[in-house]
Structure 1
Amino acid sequence: MLQTAFIRENREKVIQALGKRNFDAAPLVDEVIALDDKRRSTQVALDTILAESNKLSRSIGELMKTGKKDEAAALKEQTTQFKEQSKELEEVLAVTSDALLQVLYKLPNTPADIVPEGKTPEENLEVFAAGEVPVLFDGAQPHWELAKKYDIIDFELGVKITGAGFPVYKGKGARLQRALISYFLDKNTAAGYKEYQVPHLINEASGYGTGQLPDKEGQMYHAGVDDLYLIPTAEVPVTNLFRDVIIEEKDLPVLCTAYTPCFRREAGSYGAHVRGLNRLHQFDKVEIVRVEKPENSYAALDGMVDHVKEILDELKLPYRILRLCGGDMGFTSALTYDFELFSTAQDRWLEISSVSNFETFQSNRLKLRFRDKEGKNQLAHTLNGSSLALPRVLAGILENYQTPEGIVIPEVLRPYTGFDIID
């Protein structure tokens, strides 16, 4: 959430920056300023009345001590009027403050200066590419056919149990899933990330804290009886560990990693491009989250990108990195890098990771601050990244590592799987 003071002081800058998202922010920005003006004037009026009321209370006490009861009674009538006025002003202040908050929730984060202009994914900027695309043999198949051929993922059985988008992993398919999770976590903890196991359901406050609410409410599964949401990513519960927390500067940065299943309704997703593992309602992902001092956050973002690159290099999968344009960035992000894996059998790029810096957008919602050396509390910067999302990585392994004899397991995963090939 953008800070009201920043919006007031930088009206044109905010409008121009959000224009990079193809977002017309002027009406909302002006509404924020108008509501903040009303909030401020109401607060001043309330403070004035309360001060006058306190002053009268002291005068009443002095009059009572000196036996001037009639004069004291007259002042008491004034204090009664002040109480009624202050109550009315408190109600106006509460309504205005809530209205201001609801408008602020509608404003996305301002993009960083290096975010490219653009409206569609085709306008994202490729900044890095690595790995050689393998030349597959005649008769090579996409992963959904390989899953059936080797009996390692059963999409139909998932439909029977739950519905489309909930696959069942079997035998070596399940072992490979577990191997990837363990490998990702080991890489993250070796890099200094502390591992957490977190709840898979969140309350409304957590959803608002990281920006899933109200922006992505329709994309989350909602358990209505208990008013809880199934998590769309581990980013949400992990980052909310620090909601309403003040961290000492000496304890920064904070590095976290967690494995969770992720649940996304993905309403409106259909067609050949979402076949198999390409788009699921439930999938596994390992996440990394960082809390940083503002001046260090972009160096930390670069470090997170390098960390994901190292994992993909070890898996020997062809990939590229895109700096997302303004029109393709998430609501909460100031800068996002997407990693895409090349699926040789499908002849297309598949997104497998997003690494983002949110600057103070989440921390302002979360009231996540750090206490500097002078004892002043400041908003921290938050960052997160997929390290990694499993479905499309698994799809890439199945497709790019297939041979006529079977699917060869990447060497780095063999200590985790206990086998070298799926045949």
Structure 2
Amino acid sequence: MHDIRVIRDDPAAFDAALSRRGLAPLSPEILALDAERRTRINAAETAQAEQNRASKEVGAAKARGDEAAFEELRALVAAKKAEVAAMQAEAAALDAELRDLLMTIPNLPLESVPEGADENDNVEIRRWGEPRALDFTPVEHFEIAGVRPGMDFATAAKLSGARFVMLTGAVARIHRALAQFMLDLHVDRHGLTEVWAPVLVLPAMMEGTGQLPKFGEDSYQTREGWWLIPTAEVTLTNTVHGDLVEHATLPRRMVAHSQCFRSEAGSAGRDTTGMLRQHQFEKVEMVSITDAESGLAEHEAMTRRAEAVLEALGLPYRTIVLCTGDMGFGARITHDLEVWLPGQNRYREISSVSYCGDFQARRMNARYRPAGGGRPEFVHTLNGSGLAVGRTLIAVLENGQQADGSVELPAVLQPYLGGASRLTAGGELS
């Protein structure tokens, strides 16, 4: 959420930043609503002062026995009380309207973010690894002979409908091994704190990280009012919801492996084959809570942590900076990691690493006490996939596929697979 004081101080700069996202100026509407709200607050305060003065005079009139003045002043106090209540209600309604408006406005991009309209304007900043030279035509993950026995879309559709998959046998074990490997890497090498957290959260938690109110259709809500998380970003970031933390406890770096749920609203017709885009999937998610000075350095470090997973698995990838028109709602800057998928002959997103500044913290009212004293400041938040487990499974299977339908598996997974290094064409580990 945005700081109304910043918009008041420089509305032109606010609108200029919004225009980089392709949005029309909003400061006139915001400031008009803010001015009306402040007018009602000032009027309520004035009426409250008049009520207080009249209340004192009521006592004085009664003490001197002036019955006429006493009754007149009592009527005035009652009228002022009703006036104050009405003005306070109006101010509260305007305050809620202003907050609702600010809650729907995306974060402002950093100056360094390239300007553009869509994914075609994103900027590649580096690559790692070379796609394997193949002497056969590669196929997509679900077409590999050794994968087909363990990737069952028909049974999943019978159970749950479209965009679900059931993994069995060796494929399910590889999927589990990937999640375990990612967690161990982030905990042991990167020093992140592992967290196991709920996947059902209260609406305020979804508001805190920006999924609500604007993007409710992208997620699922239960009859009881809980929301199913679209990513563990929601739970991990909201661990500081409403808190005032000590500077000495920052940065807080966390990682969680969780089930994730997305309705995929608006994605009809996209990636309908295979398990690239599912309603239920798993991610290993990283979140950092930092101070105002450390955010950008932490963003680079988090990006490297995600890249390290791909490098350990031997998967070619490229890192891009999303342009202003392709960036997510809560981000100030985002790095996307795109892994090479030979079955599609293209790079596909496998991780997004975003720096949000204090945007989410304002929504959560999450602050820290500066080490040198002074007024509390809002924390800065970051989140990134480290990685999407299902998409990593796809990348491992496609990049390791052999002409005979078997799959060579990354060496780092062998300890998690009982020493196996291969998925045979018959769907067994060996």
Inter-partner Cα distance in structure 2 for 1:355 and 1:268:
22
- In structure 2, the CA distance between the partners of 1:149 and 1:379, relative to structure 1 (3 Å rule), is closer
Correspondences of 1:323-338 after superposition (within 5 Å)? 323-338=321-336
Q: Which deviations, in whole Å up to 9, do the C-alpha atoms of 1:322-381 show, x marking residues without a partner?
A: 100000001111100000001112201110000001111111111111112324111111
- After TM superposition, give the deviation of residue 16 of structure 1 in Å: 0.9
Question: What is residue 384 of structure 2 aligned with on the other side?
Answer: 385
Show the 5 A alignment for 1:22-421: 22-24=22-24, 26=25, 28-65=26-63, 67-68=65-66, 70-146=68-144, 149-190=147-188, 191-223=190-222, 225-271=223-269, 273-372=271-370, 373-404=372-403, 406-418=406-418, 419-421=420-422
CA contact (8 A) 2:136 2:403 kept: no
| Number of equivalences | 420
**Partner amino acid for 1:51?**
A
Residues 164-198 of structure 1: CA distance to partner in whole angstroms, max 9, x if unpaired? 21101111111111111111111222222222222
| 1:320–1:339 Cα contact (<8 Å) kept | yes
Cα pair 2:163 2:272 within 8 Å, conserved? no
Q: Which moved more, 1:273-282 or 1:321-330?
A: 273-282
Structure 1 position 71, deviation (Å): 3.5
SS where residue 294 of structure 1 aligns? Answer: coil
- Read off the aligned partner of 2:339 and give its amino acid letter: L
Residues in 2 aligned to 1:389 and 1:217: alpha-carbon distance in whole angstroms? 22
Distance 1:399 1:111 in 2: 35
Task: Find the aligned partners of 1:68 and 1:241 in 2 and give their Cα distance.
Answer: 61
Which secondary structure does the structure 1 equivalent of 2:275 belong to?
coil
After superposition, give the CA deviation of every residue in 1:239-267 in whole Å (9 maximum; x if it has no partner): 12221111111111111111111111113
In structure 1, list runs of 5 or more residues that go unmatched: none
Give the match's secondary structure for 2:296.
helix
> Does the 8 A contact of 1:353 with 1:386 survive in 2?
yes
Compared CA separation, residues 71 and 388, structure 1 to 2 (3 A): same
Amino acid at match of 2:422: I
Deviations 1:78-98 (A, max 9, x none): 111110100110111111111
Residue pair 1:147, 1:154 contacting (<8 A) in 2 also:
no
Q: Which moved more, 1:147-156 or 1:318-327?
A: 147-156
Task: Deviation per CA, 1:220-253: give whole Å up to 9, x if none.
Answer: 1222x21222111111122122211111111111
**For residues 176 and 29 of structure 2, what CA distance do their matches in structure 1 show?**
50
Q: Secondary structure at the match of 2:99?
A: helix
SS at match of 1:320: strand
Q: Please state how far the C-alpha of 1:74 moved relative to its aligned partner.
A: 2.8
Corresponding residue of 2:12: 12
Deviates more, 1:347-356 or 1:266-275: 266-275
1:21 alignment partner in structure 2: 21
Deviates more, 1:389-398 or 1:372-381: 372-381
Residue of structure 1 equivalent to 2:428: none
Retained in 1: the 8 A contact 2:330–2:356? yes
Report the Cα distance in structure 1 between the residues aligned to 2:184 and 2:142, rounded to whole angstroms: 28
Whole-Å Cα distance in 2 between the matches of residues 341 and 251 of structure 1?
35
After TM superposition, give the deviation of residue 63 of structure 1 in Å. Answer: 4.4
Q: Kindly indicate whether the alpha-carbon contact (under 8 Å) linking 2:414 and 2:421 is maintained by their aligned counterparts in 1.
A: yes
Q: Distance in 2 between matches of 1:295 and 1:72?
A: 61
Q: Say whether the 8 Å CA contact 1:31–1:103 is kept in structure 2.
A: no
Equivalent residue letter for 1:349:
Y
The worse-fitting range, judged by mean Cα deviation, of 77-86 and 49-58 is 49-58
TM superposition score normalised by structure 1: 0.95
Give the TM-score of the pair, scaled to structure 2: 0.93
- Of stretches 372-381 and 293-302 in structure 1, the one that deviates more from structure 2 is 372-381
Indicate conservation of the 8 Å contact 2:199/2:258, yes or no: yes
Q: Is the 8 A contact 2:61 2:67 kept in 1?
A: yes
CA contact (8 A) 2:232 2:260 kept: yes
2:348 aligned counterpart, secondary structure: strand
Cα distance between partner residues in 2 of 1:174 and 1:165: 17
Q: Which amino acid aligns with 1:326?
A: T
> Offset of 1:62 from its aligned partner?
4.3
- CA distance in structure 1 between the aligned counterparts of 2:369 and 2:67, rounded to whole angstroms: 52
Residue ranges of structure 2 left out of the alignment (5+ in a row): 425-430
Q: Is the 8 A contact 1:136 1:400 kept in 2?
A: no
Q: Say whether the 8 Å CA contact 1:148–1:154 is kept in structure 2.
A: no
1:18 Cα offset (Å): 1.2
Whether contact under 8 Å (1:136, 1:344) holds in the other structure is no
